[in-house]
Each structure stands twice: as C-alpha cells, then as structure tokens.
Amino acid sequence: MVVNSINFWLFFAVVSLPYFVFFKKSWRGQNLWLLIASYFFYGWADWKMIPLLAIVTIVFYWLGLKIDEYNNNKPKLSSYLTTFGVVFGVGVLVYFKYLGFMVHEFANLFHTFGLKTNLDTFNIIMPIGISFFTFKLLSYIIEIHRGNLKPTKDIILFSTYISFFPTILSGPIDRPNDFLSQLKISHTFRIDYISEGFKRIVWGLFIKCCIADTFSFYTNNVFDNIGSHNTTTILLAACLFTIQLYADFSGYSNMAIGVAQIMGYKVRENFNRPYFSKNMAEFWRRWHMSLTSWITDYIFMPLNIAFRDLGKWGLYIATSINLFVIGIWHGANWTFAFFGLYNALLLIICMETEKPRKKFEKKHQLKNSRVYHFSRNMLTLFAWILACLLFRSNSVTDIATIISSFGDFGRPFQAREGSTIFLFFGIISTLILFYKEYNDEHNKNIHFLHSSNIVKSTITAITLITYIFLFGELEGGDFIYFKF
C-alpha cells in the first residue's frame, strides 16, 4: 500500500474519520486508533512481520523503563542494559538485512576453492522499514541513558511512535524527544494543517510520478542491462538516476510529512535542496537529513571523541566509519560499501582543502562571485553523479563493466522503445522542480503553491494535479527506499 496509490488514500480516509470525529477529545483514543491503523498498514505490506515489530517494541519499552530506573542508583547496570539494547537492535538488523548476504558471500568463497555447500538456498525475508524503526528504537534507549529523555509508561503511546504509519516504511526518522510529546495532546481538524499538508502531498506526488517514475523506464533499462550500453548511455542514465533518486525519496518524504501534518503531527524534514550544495560536507547536511543527523549523533560524535587523541587522523577515521555505515545502511551489497567509502574520501578531501580554498577565495575576492559558486556547485554535483553510479549498480561486476566501457562511444545510443516521451516530460518536470528550488534557495518564494493568496495557491494545486494525471506515470513502481 504505497502512499501514491488509491488504496492508501482510501485507507487514510477511513483512518481520518474516526480520528477527527470520535476521538478528537482524547489523545489516548487517537493513539490507540493510530496504533491499530499503523499495524494494519504495516501488515498490509507483510503481515508475517507484525510479531517482530511487536516483540522489539515491547523489549525496548521495558529496556527504557529499566535503564531510567537504574540511571542514578545503578549506573553500571544501566550501561549494561543500554549496551544489551544496542546489541539486540543491531543484531535484529544484521540478521534480517545482512546475514543472507554474508552467508552467500561465504558460499561463493567456498565455491572458489571447489567446496560445495547448500548455503545457496539460504534466504531471509527482510521486513520492510526495519532500518527505520530500528533506529527509532535505538535512539529511544540511548537518549534515556544519556539523561535527555524520560521513558514513557504508556506502551500504547510508545508503540504508536515506533509504528507511526506515514513514516514507518521509509522515514523520516523521528527522534523520541521531538515526537513523543506530540502524542500526548489531542489533535483536532485544523484547516491550516490540512491545507499545508495537502500542498506537501501534491508536490510529492508531482515529483514522484512526473520525474522519478518517468525516468525509471530509462534508468532501469540501462542499469539492469549494463553490458549492452555504451558510455554515453550510461552517463545519461547516471545523470537521470541522480535526479530520479532525489525525486523519488524527497517525493515520499513530502507525502509522509504532508499526511502527518494533516493529522496534526510535525515530523522531521529530510531534504533541504541538496543539489545546490557547494561541497560534499554541505551536501550531506542537506541530504537525507534525518538519517545523517542520527548517524552523526550516535556514531560519529562518540567515535570522534574516542579518536580525538589521533588528531586529524582520528577525525578522518571517524568520518570514514560514519560514511561506511551510511553506505551499508542502504543494503547488503558491496556497491553500497563502496558508495560509503567513496563519499568518505570526498569528505576527507573537502576537509583537507578547506583552508587553502578559503585563502584562494580571499586572495581572488571570490566570496560573492556567482560564477565561482556555480562552478563549485557543478563540481559537487558531478561527484555525486559518480556516487550514484556506485549506488545504482547492481553488483561490483557491473561497476567493473561501467569502468571498462568508459571511452567506448562506438555503439549506437540505446533507449527503451516508447521511453522518449517519458524522458521528454520528465525533463520538463525536472525544470519545474529546479525552478521552484532555485527560488526557494534564494528566498524569492515566487512559486504559487504556497502563496498566501488562496486563489493563486488553489489554481496552482489544481494545475499540478491536472499535470500529474496528464503526464505523470500513475502506475509506477515502489519507492526506492522501501528496499532499505
């Protein structure tokens, strides 16, 4: 039941009516109803995984209470319980997400030495959204152990936070400090929330259906048959996938944020116009912000403190581990590991060149040069396109094929039959996207969707909806981040 499907909006309508009518004066009633709806929503994706979600929720609920109880009088026991919780949470993630990959890698290694195994048949079904709700669970007990959060004794409230249906499948990853308090107040039907949430949903649908899903026809054809394409085709597919990935994930984030806002909840933003970044450090502050900030707070900062005696090398080691974790968080594939390490290298280069770059800018008075900043923006974007090549490649073998094909412009340009029209409207839609984001970036705010003039905003919304139905791919595939 994806957010851009008719089934979801029927489900959302059924959920909203009792939520706003029968339970409008009771936040406990709203939480119970949301919990039932969230488990139904999750079960629609895979009902067999509902027990897992319930079990880990109960375990971490109990851990939160005990960690807080022992924080003052038995700090060592509190630390042991926190460590157990982290190991347990990471263990669940490793088992479902990475164990099958590791087993198959060992099987391949044994086959290399002529040893036969039955491990090829080993297969574990990965629960949808496990990376997202596991990170919620971990941050909950860590914040309690640090003394930044008091645990809730209301298991319904806690379970609702973990399973909140707009964000459970692909985020954003909300922190308990920000979200739990919102579950302790009743939410009423507010026109301003409905209006703003509706606009976010329409914009998310636009960039998902009119950009991401239209480009997927071409990019899937190229990357799933990489040996049949030349350098020009692969580079074009990489550029289009760079846009597709952003449109797909930010489209989902906008819709999730919009749905939550209609119900009265504010969830974290996930993107802040990352393609206008001038270096990779700035890029990662703007890209998938809920994940990046989570990794920074709970992995990078402790590592940076642990390695501080090593000086800048300690910083580089912490950065490399940080980006490696971000890479493999996306999936059990060597391509994601290389994706993370490649980005770590880019960040280290960025840190190493920061001082000489600033001296160069000061010497040549480039602080206000638009040409100079545009060139930095384009260089950052090019580095990210290469990262997306690693991200989208299906295997290390495909990466090797891409590298070996560079410079081969001899074969004809190949595109999927009938995809030209999708590419055309996808490019037009991309221009609309970046026109809006350019104006947002420079605080011009001339786009009409969020205009204070209700006539302008209404006309813009109707125009966008019409455009989506006319030129969008309404039967596109699942969101890319559902796999993670």
d(CA 270, CA 254): 9
* Cβ-proximal residues to 385 (8 Å cutoff; 6+ apart), any chain: 238, 239, 242
DSSP for 329-394? HT-SSHHHHHHHHHHHHHHHHHHHTHHHHHHHHHHTT-TT-HHHHHHHHHHHHHHHHHHHHHHH-S
Burial of residue 371, with CB atoms counted within 10 A of its CB: 0-12 exposed, 13-18 middle, 19 or more buried: exposed
**What is the C-alpha end-to-end distance of the chain, expressed in Å?**
16
In b/e form, how buried is each residue of 294-318, taking b as 16+ CB within 10 angstroms? bbbebbbeebbeebeeeeeebbbbb
Start-end of H helices in 263-288 = 280-286
Angle at 184 between CA 293 and CA 22, to 5 degrees: 125
Residue 400, CB half-sphere, CA atoms under 13 Å: how many?
4
d(CA 299, CA 138): 12
Length of the chain: 484
Catalytic option among 145, 187, 229, 330: 330
d(CA 484, CA 480): 8
364 is annotated as an active-site residue: no
Angle at 131 between CA 125 and CA 136, to 5 degrees: 135
Residue pair 271/253 in contact by the 8 Å Cβ criterion: yes
Note if the bond before 172 is cis, omega within 30 degrees: yes
Alpha-carbon 246 to chain mean position: 10
d(CA 181, CA 58): 20
- Longest alpha-carbon distance in the chain: 73
Structure tokens at 424: 């055309």
Among 205, 206, 208, 240, residue whose Cα is nearest residue 221: 240
In b/e form, how buried is each residue of 48-78, taking b as 16+ CB within 10 angstroms? ebbeebeebbebbbebbbbbbebbeeeeeeb
Catalytic residues: 330
